[in-house]
Structure 1
């Protein structure tokens, strides 16, 4: 059993020709989306991975809320690995829009004729989490539409092929975008990876991309099966508990592939179902009212980062209760009971 770092170390001298692109390689690209490269791309238009580790302020990378120390270690490992060091970062697009509640970050890496197009999941900003809540209400959110435009823009160049990757919300964007691009672009996509990202809320067939679509969740997944209208997924073993399994660094690897499990963790599956059913029991209007109320409470309390919420679960619970005042009592009680289950599980760890 190993992890990302042992995998890189073991296969660092194997080129992408000697060892063709693997699912684990896709996972590595997904994790790279949680790093901001804009400071160096102002100087170097198309830096290689072997340059990025030396050009970025690694102390700043390490200070990042989402796995900062591991991200620093990852950049250094890739910089010294023959397999990855000559891959170039040729595009980075970031959209932050408070009005439409959009947090969008896409990257394109290139090696020879292949593009590796990666969509970031939700960051720690409250804006990003508001966007996640919007996915409970609206079948399509702006980031998914921008994902379509991004793929069509990057793949307008002739003779280019692409592997499209995303983790969490980024997995949903990768799926939606690959499904909705024009047919000419869709033919250029060789694989789509959705790592623990929710299915599309709108029930639509994945048939046009089914034979190149790969979805992976962990044994106690919460986000990956939220809408639960997909059966085409594989379960990957994580060395962490419950929500912490969403962290890609905890996914277990053997040789050139993941360690797979036959079934989900039944206990956490039941907790996840209760949370999902409680939220989805709300009418469209109730969900919309809940999100608007919660957003106003965050704004009134000057909460801009998720870290501010995790510092005080009791305060967070009070905020949730206040935002549910216009929801029927029975539904409100069910949601708060679910919140209690979630908080108690978080505290147990």
Structure 2
């Protein structure tokens, strides 16, 4: 078993003529949009570069110290590009249509890129959120309905889709999977006819009622939804498509990292269902979030993330690495919350960090507080 980097080592010499597009190729291209391609000439305004050319330009333009400064998840992305550029399978893909916009009024980012494959199809990749606490908060905030990123994803798909004559695959990881779903469901019928598959890789769902606005059956039958067995983000809100559940080398919430997803050959390792802890967490999330109005959900999310941010960590991994120190900071912040919020946030923290909490040498008082 391996991950997407191993897949490129194992099968990078196999062209799309020799083996057709598969679900692992999807995840590679979904993660490709995390690349910081700003400043790389030749991939905007209708221009394209072969992926091997793009790689040369990227590493000539970007300094090593900038790459090393990124989070654990993002540090793998340049290596993904290196391996793709050296592979027979990907090096002659053409890359274009790159956009990266900060929607400052809503404190959101939208980024997307288009990849033309040697098999004659095109994959439109929407960037998701990274492994920072801020990124997770953005995923949770999708529970409050349609955001500017959704509208930009729809505009992007319709603009690209009008002049692309090839059949399309659309996808993304995390928030990117949610954007892919929204754009595919809302775009004009002419573009929907071009869509082969929509890939939602552990993306959050939509508020209750979203799927009843218009006929969705045409697109839903083309959707492949993939989540790890301890998924949190991919179980948020409402989904109308049963997921493919897969294995990960990590535990708990760290399974959201796509580089931990287990692969054998051209496929992910299947699991029979969610872990018991993931099922419990899903029930907790729906218990609180589904019954709230927009204002109440926004307040709960703000309170939840104020507890996580009290640790001083920037990523989920840093919270876990902080051990008892992180727990003490979260407990201190919890005690500052109003009673109703405190009960809800405490239960959500218990669900999110169950595996980590069980291993911590915490005081008896904290055990009673956080562990059932």
1:103 paired residue number: 109
1:144 paired residue number: 150
Alignment of 1:258 with 2:268, yes or no, is yes
Q: Distance in 2 between matches of 1:11 and 1:231?
A: 30
2:364 paired residue number: none
1:337 paired residue number: 347
Task: Kindly state the Cα deviation for residue 200 of structure 1 after the two structures are TM-superposed.
Answer: 2.0
Give the secondary-structure state (helix, strand or coil) at the position aligned to 1:201.
Answer: coil
Give the secondary-structure state (helix, strand or coil) at the position aligned to 1:84.
Answer: coil
2:21 paired residue number: 21
Structure 2 stretches of 5 or more lacking a match? 361-372
1:132 paired residue number: 139
Task: Kindly state the Cα deviation for residue 229 of structure 1 after the two structures are TM-superposed.
Answer: 3.6
Q: Distance in 2 between matches of 1:151 and 1:320?
A: 42
Distance change (3 Å), C-alpha of 1:293 and 1:257: closer
Q: Match for 1:177 among 167, 180, 183?
A: 183
2:199 paired residue number: 193
1:116 paired residue number: 123
Q: Deviations over 1:137-179 (max 9, x none)?
A: 2x21111111111100111115232110111111011001100
Q: Distance in 2 between matches of 1:114 and 1:70?
A: 26
Alignment of 1:62-101 (within 5 A): 62-101=68-107
Q: Distance in 1 between matches of 2:18 and 2:56?
A: 27
More displaced 10-residue stretch of structure 1: 242-251 or 153-162: 153-162
CA RMSD of aligned residues (A): 3.0
Task: Kindly state the Cα deviation for residue 313 of structure 1 after the two structures are TM-superposed.
Answer: 5.1
Q: Distance in 1 between matches of 2:226 and 2:316?
A: 27
Alignment of 1:162 with 2:168, yes or no, is yes
Q: Distance in 2 between matches of 1:271 and 1:286?
A: 19
How many pairs does the alignment contain?
A: 341
Q: Deviations over 1:59-109 (max 9, x none)?
A: 233432142442232111111101100112211111212322321111111
Distance change (3 Å), C-alpha of 1:288 and 1:252: closer
Distance change (3 Å), C-alpha of 1:116 and 1:321: farther
1:2 paired residue number: 2
Q: Distance in 1 between matches of 2:332 and 2:191?
A: 47
Q: Deviations over 1:30-79 (max 9, x none)?
A: 11122101122379952322123332226233432142442232111111
Structure 1 stretches of 5 or more lacking a match? none
Q: Match for 2:231 among 199, 221, 224?
A: 221
Give the secondary-structure state (helix, strand or coil) at the position aligned to 1:67.
Answer: helix
Q: Deviations over 1:225-253 (max 9, x none)?
A: 12244342110111110111111111111
Q: Match for 2:252 among 242, 246, 255?
A: 242
TM-score (norm 2): 0.81
Give the secondary-structure state (helix, strand or coil) at the position aligned to 1:40.
Answer: coil
Q: Distance in 1 between matches of 2:130 and 2:181?
A: 19
Distance change (3 Å), C-alpha of 1:122 and 1:157: same
Distance change (3 Å), C-alpha of 1:11 and 1:202: same
